[in-house]
Amino acid sequence: MTAAATLPPLPAGVLRQAVTDEAAIASNVAALRGVLDVRHLMVVVKADGYGHGLVPAARAALTGGADWLGVADVDEALTLRSAGVMAPVLAWLHGPGSDFPAAAAAGIDLALSSLAQLDAAAKAARAAAGGRAGVQLALDTGLNRNGAPREAWAALFRRAAELEAAGLVRVRGILSHVSNTSEADDLAQLALFREAVGRARGVGLRPELLHLAATAAALTLPPTRLTMVRIGIAAYGLTPFEAGFDDLGASTAGGGPPGAGTDDPFTRLGLTPALTLRAPVVAVRRVAAGEGVSYGYTYRTAGPTSLALIPLGYADGIPRSASNRGVVTVGGVRYPQVGRIAMDQFIIEAGGRDPAVRVGDEAIVFGDPARGAVGVGEWARAAGTIGYEIVTRLGRRVGRTSVGGAA
Ligand SMILES: *Cc1c(COP(=O)(O)O)cnc(C)c1O
């Protein structure tokens, strides 16, 4: 398996395109599987596979050796089933009306945070005639977010044991989620988690899947790996760390290959970013010095230059907060994004007396820095956010395609 597929040129007539490299996801997952050395590896494909496409991401993750898929909600899990993805799936975020009967019928595991949810899962199993609902108990160990609070554990474990004895549920796992605040905070959560597992065993539960770590903890705190890790962002070749070092190479004085000389635990893995966002240049114009650019004239040209128009805006997920800070490449050359990013379009300054950028040229907004593209992390820093938000916020107008999938 090659680490990355080659990108075919942007087809004529396509105005905006996000390309997912399934081979990159598969090889990232295979690399993580090797490095993390855990019994079970869940790849998280919620939020449309972190913007990479739910089904392509899931297929690629399974190709790379994932044995579980994770999603936020039941609808996402059912979408996987409708597409023929039959691997074990866990969904963990539910409302009072979430379709547990459909989940039970489709063999989807539910991570449950309350007695009400546990009872609803048992009721769904009863309706599914003979089947047991696969459940995993979601416990809060510090985030105060999803997961049963500590005071509720005893009752939850007792009821789960009763329902298991009654043949209605199978308690396959126990999970929690860490805050990534500090090593000490995460280890405190791990200690609480171990206490919970001991108490669950005390009432007769035998969960085989014990999972606490997402990408950041899995990479930096081996004791949190337990029997399974839930890997999202790294499967897509992106860093979980806010001040990522994944793509500084091109913009750091001194140069060198991306990530060279860094000791970042993510960078050392050498994973491949799997999403490329691109669009054709749709207009190029020469302008004189002192010209204002886009709304509010937040940028004025310093000298005669050329401006090129890219048909992507904040409605497509390009953060307006990155205005005057973004960078894109055309033909492998970096050009600064200038002026306010508008709803549908933004401008890059191509410079030069004889513009090097022409209408129809392919502009790559972000992609794989190892192949000369601007990284997702660079856009994230320009917008004051994290890579997770950049890839998951792409708008509905952006056409999706994938390359490098198994035939
Ligand atoms: C999103 C999510 C993950 C994956 O997190 P990454 O940082 O992307 O690895 C894992 N577990 C839960 C509960 C999540 O919500």
Task: Tell me which residues of the chain have a pLDDT lower than 50.
Answer: 1, 244-261
Q: What pLDDT was estimated at residue 262?
A: 59
Query: Are 4 and 404 within 8 A, CB to CB?
Result: yes
CB of 51 sitting under 6 A from ligand 1: no
Type of residue numbered 261 = G
Secondary structure string (H, E, C) spanning 169-217:
EEEEEEECCCCCCCHHHHHHHHHHHHHHHHHHHHCCCCCCEEECCCHHH
Catalytic-role residue among 236, 295, 297, 335? 295
Q: What atom in ligand 1 is closest to the CA of residue 230? A: 10
Could you give the maximum distance between any two Cα atoms of the chain, in Å?
79
Burial class (CB in 10 A: 0-12, 13-18, 19+), 6: exposed
214 CA → ligand 1 middle, Å = 5
pTM of the model: 0.94
| pLDDT of the residue at 99 | 97
Distance 31 CA to ligand 1 centre (A): 18
Shortest-distance Cα residue to atom 14 of ligand 1? 214
Which pLDDT score is estimated for 129?
A: 67
> What's the CA gap between 154 and 140, in Å, rounded?
13
Q: Is 214 in the pocket of ligand 1 (CB under 6 A)?
A: yes
Residue 92 beta carbon below 6 angstroms from any ligand 1 atom = yes
pLDDT at site 60: 98
The bridge status of strand 89-91 relative to strand 68-71 is parallel
Residue 177 Cβ contacting ligand 1 at under 6 Å: yes
Is 295 an active-site residue?
Answer: yes
Three-class DSSP labels, 347-367: EEECCCCCCCCCCCCEEEEEC
Let me know if 299 is a catalytic residue.
no
Atom of ligand 1 nearest to the CA of 215: 9
* Ligand 1 closest atom vs CA 146: 13
Pocket test for ligand 1, best of 230, 236, 242 (most atoms within 8 A of CB): 230
> 393 vs 25, 70, 152, CA distance in Å?
19, 19, 35
Atom number in ligand 1 closest to CA 240? 7
Distance 350 CA to ligand 1 centre (A): 39
For position 260, what pLDDT does the model report? 42
- Show the tokens assigned to 331: 């033909």
For a substitution probing ligand 1, which of 28, 42, 44 has the most ligand atoms within 8 Å of its CB?
Answer: 44
pLDDT score of 354: 67
Residue with the smallest CA separation from ligand 1 atom 13 is 177
